[in-house]
């Protein structure tokens, strides 16, 4: 299962988009700590067993996209309205079928 979030806008993209959760690493924070913090801040979900999967260039300057898997530990999804329009659990196969303008899955 994965969490797909619905954002009002990201950077220069000014239309709502669907994406997996994303965020930035804070000064003094490990990448794994950032993943745990961002998931908690955006969805109220606690995760554990965070594992690096892959990385790729990011379209934003001085940025790198880094993918992780993690295990669900606890919590019910509650979208942070300062971060997301909504978020929910989806089977990973749905990501292949979602195709909207400005989708970055």
The CATH class given to the 2-97 domain equals alpha beta
3-state secondary structure of 41: helix
Interval 36-43 mean pLDDT: 94
Please tell me the total number of residues recorded for the chain in this structure: 105
Average pLDDT of 67-82? 91
- Secondary structure class of 7 (helix, strand, coil): strand
Quick one: average pLDDT of 5-31?
74
DSSP states of 48-81 as a string? EEEEEEEEEE-SSTT-EEEEEEEEEEE------T
- Report for 2-16, 20-34, 53-67: range of highest mean pLDDT: 20-34
In the chain, domain spans: 2-97
Helix, strand, coil percentages, rounded to 5, for the chain: 15, 40, 45
């Amino acid at each position: 299962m994965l969490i797909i979030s619905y954002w009002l806008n990201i950077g220069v993209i000014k239309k709502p988009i669907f994406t997996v959760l994303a965020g930035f690493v804070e000064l003094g924070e490990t990448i794994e700590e950032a993943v745990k913090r961002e998931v908690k801040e955006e969805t109220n979900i606690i995760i554990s067993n965070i594992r690096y999967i892959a990385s790729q260039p990011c379209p934003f300057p001085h940025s790198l996209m880094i993918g992780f898997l993690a295990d669900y530990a606890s919590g019910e999804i509650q979208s942070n309205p300062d971060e997301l329009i909504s978020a929910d659990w989806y089977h990973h196969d749905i990501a292949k079928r979602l195709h909207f303008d400005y989708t970055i899955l």
